[in-house]
Chains A and B, each alone.
Chain A
Amino acid sequence: MTTHRLIQNFRRSQGLLWASSEFNADVLERTLLKLGVSLRRVESVSAAGLDPDRDIVFLDADQPINPAPLLLAGANLTAAPVIGIVGVEAPSRLKLLAEAGATAILRKPIQAGTVYSALFLGVNNHRRLKSAEARLAIGDRKRRGRRFLIKAVVALVQTRGLSDDDAYAELRRESMRRRLDLEEFCESLFQLDSHFPAEWPAGPALSSSHDRGGSAHAQDVDVGRRGGGDDDDSHRSRGRANQARSA
């Protein structure tokens, strides 16, 4: 299911043709021109020099190329979309394209009627992967911070006699007041200068601890603004906390 807007008009994009000088680019260049895309031959590509919103790399797999420069340091995804140009469908050539992160291919000889489809898939698949990678990074960060959340819940249960649901709700309210991610806030509770659970660390509290109720609506808005990925969990947790209070 597509969750982001698809690019369908490639006007003012720039194609970077990373191919040997023997490669005849006439059809590709003429067709890209009709689509509003310029084409420039390059001898090599540097990820740092690529503009992900404008550049599209056309990589000829039938030449000895090291695709590593397409990747930013520490990244798994290329800095800009890569469209592979395939002549010989041998595993070694296809492996090169896989390593280069190609998200679409053009077969040699290039036919004009296939270029728009390759652009559409290449660019939009790259955007989809980029979006997925960003979501994964957020998930990883939250997963790493989860142990601090568990430690904080346990500390509140043990020192204040709260149920685990109430302890979670308390931590969540405090993190929201400080405009901090829940896991990030919990990690800060265990810094050397922290007196938690005896007291909350000093921070940009927006209201007094006695005025912590607010409205459920206000909390929902706050959560939405953060764009966290566990809103449903948060709602369920609030539900459990309320049930615990009622009981």
Chain B
Amino acid sequence: MLCGALLGIAQAQAEHRDLKIDPIICNPGGDNARYSAMAGDMLASGIRHVVGCYTSSSRKEIIPLFEKADALLWYPSHYEGFESSSNVVYTGAVANQHLLPLVEYLLAHVGPKAFCVGSNYIWAWENNRILREAIGPNGGTVVAERYFPVGCTEFDQAIDAILAARPSFVFNTLIGESSYQFLRDLRVACGRRGINQAREIPVASCTLSEPELTAIGPGAVDGHITSSVYFSSLDTPENERFVKAYHAQFPEGPVASADAEATYLAARLLALAVAEAGTDEACAVKRAVALRAIMAPQGEVRIDAETMHAWLTPRIACSRPDGSFTILREARRPVQADPYLIRNSSRFGAVAIRPVLRVAS
């Protein structure tokens, strides 16, 4: 994400020579208390625009500070939605831009039976709820939901349960090392039983990106189905330029990814809006950013004036042994974000479609 932001700032500086962009970089190291302290210090020093945060918990931690200071947080990560702060510009995807297209694809091309594994926090809970409610009315079932502490790397029992249940696919909302270890262990366990895991029990998610494929390692990198708005293998002139510039600026990696692209376009949108507004005052910048669309590496992107979420282009892809993705499906045009799913869900929550088993350890 930092690489994407720095590249976006460098390009924005080149495009808007009348602006002086001076990035201040803070690293809270994943500690929510430090997010709050550092954001407080930044705002107190007069900074009005901050690009960053990855987890929802870190974002929730600092939003009150931005609301109080009337500053803007440019949040570049995909997330579970159900939020729309007036002091946040959201450039990452929400459920109708990643999860719902994935559910549609899985039901049409993979099968109806889901087994969910996830890290025990809001990202997994909410995504599994949306999956459950989307899959049920379309003939699918969730046979089990298993939750693990963040950082857990012990999945033997869950994998035994998966092999016993033989779902059409595993829906993976594990994060970080947990996810990589799970993918490695599942591949090995399937191999022992003569099961072609990628073909017979594929793992689907909305989180897998190119740097994570590198972290999984060569034995289990391929065959995972992922929904995202950006893949570095996109064949567009804008993406070709982005990837080339990214590799030139960061030859040591990490490789370009959806998070890098979302942060890159957050920085570019910020610079564009400040330039257009002629001020860094939050209200003026918000008005300006909602008026313009930019050609991003993923295609056209614009910010919705009502929700301050981005119109993005959903895509489904499958990971390859070389650590990149093959695009399987993509939307014909950018899709408006629907953070509260008011246009993409029924009035009522589902009660009939419940997993056969739900375990949190």
Contacts and interface: CB of A to CB of B under 8 A. Distances in A.
Contacts of B307: 34
Contacts of B83: 113
Given A7-B348, A31-B84, A33-B306, A113 B63 contact: yes
A-B complex: 10 closest residue pairs judged by Cβ atoms: A36-B342, A5-B348, A11-B342, A6-B349, A8-B349, A9-B347, A34-B84, A5-B351, A9-B345, A35-B340
Contacts of A4: 351
Contacts of B250: none
A4 B67 CA distance: 37
Contact of B86 (A2, A10, A30, A116): A30
Contacts, number: 51
Contacts of B157: none
A30 B305 CA distance: 11
Of A5, A7, A9, A10, chain B has the most CB atoms within 10 Å of the CB of A9
B341 interface: yes
B82 interface: yes
Interface of A: 2, 4-11, 27, 30-31, 33-36, 111-113, 116
Interface string B318-361: 00000000000000000000011111011111110000000000
B85 interface: yes
Given A6-B348, A31-B84, A112-B86, 19 more contacts: A2-B351, A4-B351, A5-B348, A5-B350, A6-B349, A8-B349, A9-B342, A9-B347, A10-B347, A11-B342, A11-B347, A33-B306, A34-B306, A34-B339, A35-B342, A111-B67, A112-B84, A113-B83, A113-B85
A166 B340 CA distance: 57
Contacts of A36: 340, 342-343
Interface string B53-88: 000000000010001000000000000001111100
B340 A116 contact: yes
Nearest to A8: B349
A27 B85 CA distance: 11
A37 to B, nearest CB: 9
